[in-house]
Amino acid sequence: MAAAESPNNTPVVQLSRVSKSFGEVKAVHDISFEIYRGEFFSMLGPSGCGKTTTLRLLAGFEQPDEDGGEVRLLGQVVNKKRPYERHVAMVFQNYALFPHLSVERNVAFGLEQRKTPRPEIAERVRRALDMVRLEPSLFSRRMPGQLSGGQRQRVALARALILEPAILLLDEPLGAIDLKLRKEMQLELKALNKELGTTFVYVTHDQEEALTMSDRIAVMDNARVAQLGTPAEIYENPRTAFVAKFIGESNFFEGQARRQGPHWELEWPYGGSARIPDHPRLQPGKPARIAVRPEWMDVWAPEDVPPGENAVAGTIQDVIYLGETMHVLVLVPHVGTVTVAVRNEGQLIKPLRWKRGDAAAVAWLPEDCQILEDGQ
């Protein structure tokens, strides 16, 4: 959400034109954004895009280039501050637990370093373990080697939360656990964020994970922020082809924009056209590119396409069973394979009518076209 839409529009993280180089390589290049108090903010992107380097810049494990902008935490410039001076805690991808210390001692470690009184440590350890759903009487004395991956992840989270940080940094903490537990932990992390009011800054390459948990997402590509917005904004209005491809699946169509009365159309170079929404990026006679999500499309017999919908004709290439949905692949001349996602209503009782080689048309509503920047 933008600052004006945030329930608390106090920025606790501010990056202003921040850059970080390793030799000749720009790992982070001129990025700027703010994160608000209590937000669950995710940095999402492929390997090497700069998201983990950005997190390390916030943590203090890396410093920006000399002329590489400002990092502000809680209103203070922290470019030169050490990690322990920053009021942040971090949960690492590999958890970084001490194998020779019990769960209790691992969680207490930060408080011991701060010389916190022992009675207070014991009570705060108990509360921290309760918070991450680990029963203290069962788990306090166990060693990390006696825990499952999910339990180790919870210990690492408790160790960070016990310090009561203003900002919690999480570097792909769910990557090493199985799918079912990962989905459960996504919901638990989101609930903890809301319950504690702590600002979570989360790094992931998993699109579904980011969409599930985040208030806002910064999609990163090639050391820059490609797009910043809510999950709905990122998914339903991607700015570039990269964002449209990386978040979910998309079908792409290219042509020339033209004005047709009060409406815009995309004229295909191979003949025909499609109605598209009005958009400030469109210029008459200039190339344009659109993306359409597979779930916003339908497959019809060519003669049955509903009036008012855009359509391209082709032949059924394959039907792929995915459980909740079916993907119908339609080979369209001059375009290639177009993927249509349809709800699985039970293939044993109500099987899809389509089979390989059938003539078919892919159709979608004009308002479901996503206009991409610069026809890219």
pLDDT, one tens digit per residue, over 250-291 is: 999 999 999 988 899 999 998 899 999 998 889 999 999 999
How confident is residue 374, by pLDDT bands cut at 50, 70 and 90?
Answer: low
Question: d(Cα 141, Cα 108) in Å, to the nearest integer?
Answer: 12
- What pLDDT sits at residue 43? 97
Q: What is the mean pLDDT of residues 104-124?
A: 90
Residue-wise pLDDT tens digits, 190-232: 999 998 899 999 999 999 999 999 999 999 999 999 999 999 9
Using alpha carbons only, what angle is made at residue 303 by residues 359 and 314, rounded to the nearest 5 degrees? 30
| pLDDT > 90 in the chain, percent | 74
Question: Is a pLDDT exceeding 60 seen at residue 297?
Answer: yes
How confident is residue 181, by pLDDT bands cut at 50, 70 and 90?
Answer: confident
Decide if 12 contacts 36 (C-beta within 8 A). Answer: yes
Decide if 107 contacts 158 (C-beta within 8 A). Answer: yes
Which of 3-12, 272-281, 294-303, 335-344 has the weakest average pLDDT? 3-12
Q: What is the mean pLDDT of residues 125-142?
A: 91
Complete domains list, the chain, with CATH = 3-238 (3.40.50.300), 249-375 (2.40.50.100)
Supply the angle between the helices 149-161 and 118-131 in degrees, to the nearest 10: 130
Strands 216-221 vs 40-44: parallel, antiparallel or unpaired: parallel
Backbone angles phi, psi at 188, to 5 degrees: -70, -40
Q: Between these two residues, 350 and 82, which has the higher pLDDT value?
A: 82
- What pLDDT sits at residue 261? 83
Question: Is a pLDDT exceeding 70 seen at residue 69?
Answer: yes
Question: d(Cα 142, Cα 256) in Å, to the nearest integer?
Answer: 65
- What pLDDT sits at residue 84? 87
How confident is residue 5, by pLDDT bands cut at 50, 70 and 90?
Answer: very low
- What pLDDT sits at residue 351? 87
Question: Is a pLDDT exceeding 80 seen at residue 1?
Answer: no
Which of 4-18, 145-159, 248-262 has the weakest average pLDDT? 4-18
How confident is residue 8, by pLDDT bands cut at 50, 70 and 90?
Answer: low
Q: What is the mean pLDDT of residues 290-303?
A: 96
Write down the mean pLDDT value for the chain: 91
Question: Is a pLDDT exceeding 70 seen at residue 153?
Answer: yes
Give this prediction's pTM.
0.88
Which of 101-105, 224-228, 327-331, 370-374 has the weakest average pLDDT? 370-374
Decide if 197 contacts 170 (C-beta within 8 A). Answer: no
